[in-house]
Chain A
């Protein structure tokens, strides 16, 4: 299944791997052979390189890679588990300071979390791109017409969104007073239908289409990362 449909390997169910899956999807699309070679090399030898980063995961990560369970398709993709755990092990942001070293079940915890600055730093290290980022972990980007901004950027580059996922995919009926972003997706299309906006994005290996209002779009977005070739 992994080789017949590589997209099945890009999943993040029940983990904090969404940032890594969004980045990995782009790597897979741009250079599927190179991406697969990287994963296989890492899994077989315990080290690999991508972009300007050299990866050598810690012994504990190497021990647990392949043993993550109840994560959907990730259960049967040990090489992808190794890759995501390695990315989390290698790149650190302020959220990871609370939990720096991997222990069992840390794939669901702050150890694997990705703040916005860390996400953008990963992109700069892994790809030869110009990376423009707007927004922050607690502050929305100062853009009045988010739809037009995204529509223009999609014409000339790759766009990632940093979202308040609790609003996009409600999991309970609590009315959150303080919205925080927790999720990364790759935006692939945006269009208007009447007074609604259609967005299509890659989320954990699955292409998803939602219709939302312009106000809701502005509300859920905390970060926009726009990448172009140098």
Chain B
């Protein structure tokens, strides 16, 4: 063995680690939704039902999923409150703002189960018509790595079928050659109405 051999081996191992980090993200993206479809769709449905009565967003602020930020959305003002889920003031605040606390707390519990860090509704325009989609982000262990940093599995749920290019990337419905961005990210097809992206931010 030459003197350079240990360094060559080390370099090859580092390269393999980097490559495996990248491919883990791709493998997760194709399977994660299908493996968790029931729970993810349940979260989306619960959120949509509650949102229709009283708009809101939910963020889990920490990796232990103990602290949340709850955004109460009214026409004139957005209130952002932070809670420790081990205390009772979250339920008290929900009641004060006329949310169904049982529904919301149930939704939060489901989000915790699958490590869903963020759920919200995003508005956008299509041919000058306002539309909306549900946006959720999941913090999956397989996506976290020293080389890639913090990554999240983001899912968007449209109400209508969308268009995609030959690489499965979401495109603009009217300019089909233009990839469509959501929060600055390009999303890829899972179904005609559901797309995903691996993102550095959960919102």
- A interface residues, Cβ below 8 angstroms from B: 14, 69-70, 72-73, 75-76, 108, 169-174, 200, 206-211
List A contacts of B128 (CB < 8 A). Answer: 76
- B interface residues, Cβ below 8 angstroms from A: 59, 61-63, 69, 76-82, 117, 123-125, 128, 139, 149-150, 152, 172, 178, 180-184, 200-203
A174 touches which of B61, B117, B150, B183 (Cβ 8 Å): B150
List A contacts of B180 (CB < 8 A). Answer: 70
Query: Top 9 closest A-B pairs, CB basis?
Result: A171-B201, A172-B150, A75-B125, A210-B80, A208-B78, A70-B181, A209-B79, A207-B77, A172-B201
List A contacts of B149 (CB < 8 A). Answer: 174
List 13 A-B residue pairs with CB atoms under 8 Å apart, sorted by A's residue number.
A72-B123, A73-B125, A76-B128, A169-B203, A170-B61, A170-B69, A171-B202, A200-B77, A206-B78, A207-B78, A208-B78, A209-B80, A211-B81
A sample of 7 more A-B contacts (CB under 8 A), given A14-B181, A171-B202, is: A72-B123, A72-B125, A108-B184, A170-B59, A172-B202, A174-B150, A206-B78
A173 touches which of B63, B69, B82 (Cβ 8 Å): B63
Q: Are A208 and B80 in contact (CB under 8 A)?
A: yes
Interchain CA distance A108-B184 in the complex, whole Å: 9
Task: Tell me the minimal C-beta distance from A220 to chain B in angstroms.
Answer: 13
Task: Tell me the minimal C-beta distance from B12 to chain A in angstroms.
Answer: 29
Closest to A70 in B: B181
Task: Tell me the minimal C-beta distance from A76 to chain B in angstroms.
Answer: 5
Interchain CA distance A174-B125 in the complex, whole Å: 32
Q: Given A14-B181, A69-B172, A70-B180, are A173 and B77 also a contact pair (CB < 8 Å)?
A: no
Q: Are A173 and B125 in contact (CB under 8 A)?
A: no
Q: Are A14 and B184 in contact (CB under 8 A)?
A: yes
List B contacts of A75 (CB < 8 A). Answer: 124-125
List B contacts of A69 (CB < 8 A). Answer: 172, 178, 181
Interchain CA distance A210-B70 in the complex, whole Å: 10
Interchain CA distance A108-B181 in the complex, whole Å: 12
List B contacts of A169 (CB < 8 A). Answer: 203
Q: Given A69-B172, A208-B77, A209-B77, are A172 and B183 also a contact pair (CB < 8 Å)?
A: no
Interchain CA distance A72-B63 in the complex, whole Å: 30
Interchain CA distance A69-B172 in the complex, whole Å: 10
Q: Are A70 and B80 in contact (CB under 8 A)?
A: no
Task: Tell me the minimal C-beta distance from A69 to chain B in angstroms.
Answer: 7
Q: Are B150 and A173 in contact (CB under 8 A)?
A: yes
Task: Tell me the minimal C-beta distance from A210 to chain B in angstroms.
Answer: 5
Interchain CA distance A35-B131 in the complex, whole Å: 28
Task: Tell me the minimal C-beta distance from B130 to chain A in angstroms.
Answer: 8
List A contacts of B81 (CB < 8 A). Answer: 211
List A contacts of B201 (CB < 8 A). Answer: 171-172
Q: Are A72 and B124 in contact (CB under 8 A)?
A: yes
B182 touches which of A70, A76, A200 (Cβ 8 Å): A70
List A contacts of B203 (CB < 8 A). Answer: 169, 171
